[in-house]
Each structure stands twice: as structure tokens, then as C-alpha cells.
Structure 1
Amino acid sequence: MSPAPDLRGPRVLLTPVRPAHHERLREIHRLPEVSRWWKEPDADWPAAEPDTVAYAVILDDRVVGFAQWYQEADPEFRHAGVDLFLDTAVHGLGWGTEVVRTLCTHLVDDLGFHRIVIDPEAANAPAIACYRKVGFRDVGVMREYCLGADGVWRDGLLMDLLARELVR
């Protein structure tokens, strides 16, 4: 993949993750309201994964979250997938919706994806509400989809967004 550009929303900046962001991103990841939905990262996280584009979410010159996207490149199944988390200090203030909208707009307008997927845990109601505001629709529940840190399998909700359904 080519180098990722900065992405600007009305109030937030998504900038490619750099080493200077790592400590703060790991700190946010360890917050209980974040770590309950995200598995323990590898020791080198958030070092770049080869098929993923990772962004630090910047608000007022401070790192407040993480967003990433990946693609299925097979032309018959081409689509992008996204993931994100934000510092609990900015939860419930509309920042998540702006981050998702900014990232999805880039994927649709600049990179030509016609479909984007996301797969939150089915119990993560705030995240699901955020994604719906941007136009994501429920596809279905994936039963016992992900293994929690406590050893319990949890259901996931597959959601998708078609380019024409993006709420700008």
C-alpha cells in the first residue's frame, strides 16, 4: 500500500501512526472501557501491520484514539474493513461518529470502495449506535465470534455500509 495521507474531519485529524504515538495509544488501549472490547495487543503494537493502514486520532493536538482500515483486494469481493477506539474522556461527544465518517469518506471518495464492513461485539451498544449514525446497517450476528480475555466466547455483529448509504 502507498503511504497513507492525513485525513481531516471538521474537528479531528487522522494521521498515520508514528512511533511518537505508540505510548499514548497503548495507554488508551489499557483503559477498562477500551480494553474490554479489544484484546491484549502484541508487544510491538501499534507497529504497522503489513495489510493495515493505522491512524492516530488527534484532537486539539493530543492523541485521543486509534483507527485502522484493511482491504479484501480480490476484485470479486473487494471491500474495506475498519476498526477504532477512543479515549473514554471523549466518549459520548460525537467524536467517534466523526472519525468513522472521515475514514469512510476517504475509503469511498478517494479509494473507490463500494462497501465497508465493521464487526463490533454485539454487546457494544454505544459503538453500534455510532456506526449506524454513519449509515452502517446490521448484516447479522456472528455467534461466539470472538474470545474475550476472560475465556468466554462473545457474539459479534457484522455491519456494512454501501458507498451510496454513507451519511455525510
Structure 2
Amino acid sequence: MGSRRDTPSAIAGQTVVLRPTEAAHVPVFLEILGHPEIAKWWGGYDLERVRRELLGPHGFAIELAGETVGLIIYREEPDPDHRHAAMDLALHPDHHSQGLGCDAMRAMARFLFEGRGHHRVVVDPGAANERAIRSCGRAGFQRVGVMRRYERSADGTWNDAVLMELLREEF
């Protein structure tokens, strides 16, 4: 599942286009993930981690009018009794509050439902990341609950995250 040969060359949203990640995206991703407003949620990404985790069949650049403005990745749980997908997104702060993150999440959710056959997609923004939680809600994700001490931050502290889901029939 999820090989490059079954990855579309582009996934169109209303405004953005998602394109499979390539080595050429690495400098832009480092810039985005290094921005102070993003690094607090996506800390610890250096060159090697970006190459290892963001390039490959599950990674996409978010483009607006041909410019890379963010990234979105997905993971899949293959166990047939628990099969679902999860996604994460980072958008450069210069492009916040324009509906682009919501558009990217909806485009990816459509791909995961229609192209990958999932019935459920989850996101897990930090509980203190109110902007991300609002964007996920606008994309149709519903709050399920809080996962306590879910994710370790760059300073070693554990932080809560909000579990949100979107079911295929609600899409």
C-alpha cells in the first residue's frame, strides 16, 4: 500500500494542489518547519528527518499557484479490523487564515476515502493549537476527545492533543 506507482501526480483542491514530495521540496519544507510559529508544533525537523519522514509515497507538497506553501502527510493503519488513515499538515504562516489548510485537508481526505478506500480519517492537533483545531473543524473533522500527554515537544515536556475524525459518510 502507498507506493509511488499508486500515488497520483496531483490531487486538486478548490484552491490548492497537492503534489508528491520530491528532493526539490526539502529546502522549502525546512524553511516552513523552522518558522517559529510552526516549529512549536513540528519541532525537531532537520535535513535528515525531513528526507526520511516527509519524502516518499505518503508525503505531498501543498501548492498555491505553483508555489509550495506547505506540506501534508498521511499514515495508514493496515490492520483490517482497525484500518484507517491519519494526516498531518503544516502551512507557512504567510498563508494562514486563507482557508488553504482546510482545502488541503479536504483534498487529502477525498483521496484517502476514494483513492485508498478508507472509511475514517483522523487528525490530532495539539490541544493548545486553536488555529489548527478550528481549521480541522471547518474541514469537517469532529472532536472525539483529548489525548492526554500524547506528544513530546522539543523541550521534552508532554502535551495534550485533540483527536478529531472524519467519517466517509460525513464527508
State the TM-score bracket (shorter-chain normalisation). over 0.9
Task: Give the alignment of 1:120-159 within 5 angstroms.
Answer: 120-159=125-164
Q: Quote the residue 2:3 is aligned against.
A: 2
For structure 1, which runs of at least 5 residues remain unmatched after alignment? none
Cα-to-partner distance string for 1:27-83 (whole Å, 9 max, x where unaligned): 011011111111212541322549860001111111100100010001000000000
**Is the CA contact (8 Å cut-off) linking 1:48 and 1:54 kept in structure 2?**
no
Aligned counterparts, 1:77-88, within 5 A: 77-88=82-93
Amino acid at match of 1:22: V
Q: Which residue of 2 aligns with 1:98?
A: 103
- Residues 16 and 104, structure 2, Cα contact 8 Å, conserved in 1: yes
User: 2:12·2:107 contact (CA, 8 Å) conserved in 1?
Assistant: yes
1:67 to 2:72 alignment? yes
Match of 1:114 in 2: 119
Q: Which moved more, 1:37-46 or 1:138-147?
A: 37-46
Alignment check: 8 A CA contact 1:51 1:71 kept: no
Q: Which of these residues, 43, 47, 59, is aligned with residue 39 of structure 1? A: 43
Aligned to 2:23: 19
- Contact 2:124 / 2:163 at 8 angstroms: preserved in 1? yes
Assess if the C-alpha contact under 8 Å between 1:116 and 1:160 holds in 2: yes
More displaced stretch, 34-43 vs 23-32: 34-43
Once the 2 structures are TM-superposed, how far is the Cα of residue 111 of structure 1 from its aligned partner? 1.6
Identity value in percent: 38
Contact (CA 8 Å) 1:69, 1:83: kept in 2 or not? yes
The one-letter code of the counterpart of 2:65 is D
Q: Higher helix share goes to which structure?
A: 2
RMSD: 1.6
